[in-house]
């Protein structure tokens, strides 16, 4: 291991050697924090320090926003096809560096390497390509009001966009936000989560290599209460997009009100998965497993409340338990057969264990798991896949987002009761319905209060399809064509063609 103050040569647990930047990425250059303060990245598999990176101060946020503001003056006027071309170059570089990006993501975050490579990094490249294609297809319209006026609209970029991403999918969440912002001609200051600061800095080297002008894309690491707060309340920021907890989302909204920023929020969830008695139970059990146990359960849309019709409840629970037993291999995330790695941090690990104790004390039945998992060298933030059955709607584990490999199973009698239970939550992000009656499936989908409904699947999201929630799960939509609306204003132009006073 060798280092200077702005980069360090590292060798990952899988043997991959690479240069890890450690500075703040402002104006296409890595720079130190103005206060020299740093945050430390911990390997959640071994609990060992990986390295430390510079942590942005208010002054550093000012510098990044100023760089983005200066760059916006020319970036907005770059020929849209050329903007798309730079994004395509960046997607190609992501493909070229996929193994390094996946290695960093696994080391820093704890997710299985096969998932980081084949799902997360592949999604980054795909999402960038998708929005690159939209760069020169953002059209206004002509509105006919009669011969005396020519009226038309222009889709204009918003300006400087602050983007705050979470720790569960660092690179993928960056792509979700960068793609539409850049395609529409905005400039960006993006803050990574303090728990997972490394992969975005390596990605920054690819942004520069792709040829983006200085100041168009800026990356900061730092504490949410410092850098995140400074971005949310910054008078030079025109829009803020945030993915994270509902509690933090509320604080972002309050801070953003200072200049009435355009805002997109994707926050928490306690998503229901409904299994009707006519469902294909084997498929329901497998998808229910995917919907909660993927990514160590650290998914905002995780279908963490499984509601099963009484007639098939016991049979489903048995099949679900067997699916977990045969599929959820907990272990070193760099091993090919690992399905579940560690929780991202000690704090998250302890939070999940705390909810397990809560479930026990409230009288729910612990059907699977319920302990820390200590068979990976005796260290790491590993938790057994955990299932509670016989759960009541008054229980804390039924109502609160756990964000771990932790699921509650309850029963219902009728379709109306299922909908009442599904909608009895402050959240409204994802949901799933399992039935072989397609009419019932569509009917229930319309009545569930959620931004997304999966019928006979769970959490197989796609960057071509809108993503977002209702109620306290967020504001606005990301992904798909709908994601572009969050990064443009429609300017109306009225041309007098003959009305004289």
Report d(CA 459, CA 430) in Å as an integer. Answer: 8
Residues near 116 by beta carbon (within 8 Å), at least 6 away in sequence: 101, 102, 103, 105, 106, 109
Report d(CA 191, CA 214) in Å as an integer. Answer: 17
Report d(CA 159, CA 140) in Å as an integer. Answer: 18
Beta-carbon neighbour count of residue 19 at 10 Å? Answer: 14
Report d(CA 102, CA 97) in Å as an integer. Answer: 9
- Cβ pair 159, 133 in contact under 8 A: no
Tell me the three-class secondary structure of 49-94, residue by residue. Answer: EEEEEECCCHHHHHHHHHHHHHHHHHHCCCCHHHHHHHHHHHHHHH
Question: Strands across the sheet with 29-31, in order?
Answer: 29-31, 24-26, 217-220, 187-191, 160-164, 239-243, 262-266, 474-475
Single out the residue of 464, 483, 451 nearest to residue 300, CA to CA.
Answer: 451
Beta-carbon neighbour count of residue 119 at 10 Å? Answer: 17
Report d(CA 116, CA 99) in Å as an integer. Answer: 9
Q: Is 401 a catalytic residue?
A: no
In the numeric block, which tokens belong to residue 105?
């993501």
Cα–chain-centroid distance for residue 168?
A: 7
Single out the residue of 346, 95, 50 nearest to residue 209, CA to CA.
Answer: 95
- Cβ pair 107, 43 in contact under 8 A: yes
- Cβ pair 437, 397 in contact under 8 A: no
Q: Helix, strand or coil for residue 19?
A: strand
Q: Is 127 a catalytic residue?
A: no
* CA distances, 114 to each of 91, 198, 218, 341, 344 (Å): 19, 18, 29, 11, 17
Q: Which of 184, 300, 401, 478 is catalytic?
A: 300
- Cβ pair 138, 179 in contact under 8 A: no
Cα–chain-centroid distance for residue 214?
A: 26
Q: Which of 105, 123, 194, 266 is catalytic?
A: 266
Residues near 483 by beta carbon (within 8 Å), at least 6 away in sequence: 131, 176, 179, 180, 466, 467, 477
Instruction: Please list the active-site residues.
Output: 266, 300
């Amino acid at each position: 291991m060798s280092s200077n103050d702005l980069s360090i040569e590292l060798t990952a647990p899988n043997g991959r050697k690479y240069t890890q930047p450690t500075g703040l990425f402002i104006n296409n250059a890595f720079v130190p924090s103005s206060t020299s303060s740093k945050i430390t990245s911990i390997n959640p598999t071994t609990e060992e320090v990986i390295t430390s990176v510079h942590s942005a101060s208010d002054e550093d946020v000012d510098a990044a926003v100023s760089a983005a503001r200066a760059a916006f003056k020319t970036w907005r006027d770059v020929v849209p096809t050329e903007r798309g071309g730079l994004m395509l170059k960046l997607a190609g570089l992501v493909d070229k560096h996929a193994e390094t990006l996946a290695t960093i993501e696994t080391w820093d975050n704890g997710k299985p390497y096969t998932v980081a490579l084949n799902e997360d990094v592949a999604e980054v490249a795909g999402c960038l390509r998708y929005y690159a294609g939209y760069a020169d297809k953002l059209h206004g319209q002509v509105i006919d009001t009669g011969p005396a006026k020519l009226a038309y609209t222009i889709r204009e970029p918003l300006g400087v966009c602050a983007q705050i991403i979470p720790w569960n999918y660092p690179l993928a969440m960056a792509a979700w936000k960068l793609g539409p912002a850049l395609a529409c001609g905005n400039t960006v200051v993006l803050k990574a989560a303090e728990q997972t600061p490394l992969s975005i800095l390596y990605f920054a080297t690819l942004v520069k290599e792709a040829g983006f002008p200085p100041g168009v894309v800026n990356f900061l690491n730092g504490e949410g209460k410092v850098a995140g707060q400074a971005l949310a309340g910054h008078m030079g920021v025109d829009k803020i997009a945030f993915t994270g907890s509902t509690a933090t989302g509320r604080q972002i909204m309050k801070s953003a009100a200072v200049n009435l920023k355009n805002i997109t929020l994707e926050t928490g969830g306690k998503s229901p998965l409904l299994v009707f008695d006519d469902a294909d139970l084997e498929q329901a059990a497998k998808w229910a497993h995917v919907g909660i146990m993927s990514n160590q359960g650290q998914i905002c849309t995780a279908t963490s409340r499984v509601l099963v019709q009484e007639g098939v409840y016991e049979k489903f629970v048995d099949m679900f338990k067997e699916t977990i037993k045969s599929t959820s291999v907990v272990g070193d995330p760099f091993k090919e057969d690992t399905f579940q790695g560690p929780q991202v941090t000690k704090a998250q690990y302890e939070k999940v264990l705390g909810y397990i104790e809560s479930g026990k004390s409230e009288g729910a039945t612990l059907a699977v798991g319920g302990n820390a998992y200590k068979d990976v060298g005796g260290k790491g933030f590993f938790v057994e896949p955990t299932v509670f059955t016989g759960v009541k709607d008054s229980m804390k584990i039924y109502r609160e987002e756990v964000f771990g490999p932790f699921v509650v199973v309850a029963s219902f009698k009728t379709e109306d009761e299922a909908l009442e239970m599904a909608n009895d939550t402050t959240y409204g992000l994802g949901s799933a319905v399992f039935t072989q009656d397609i009419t019932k499936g569509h009917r229930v989908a319309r009545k569930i209060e959620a931004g997304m409904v999966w019928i006979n699947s769970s959490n197989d999201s796609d960057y071509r399809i809108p993503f977002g929630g209702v109620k306290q799960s967020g504001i606005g939509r990301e992904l798909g064509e709908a994601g572009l609306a969050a990064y443009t204003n429609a300017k109306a132009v009225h041309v007098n063609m003959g009305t004289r006073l």
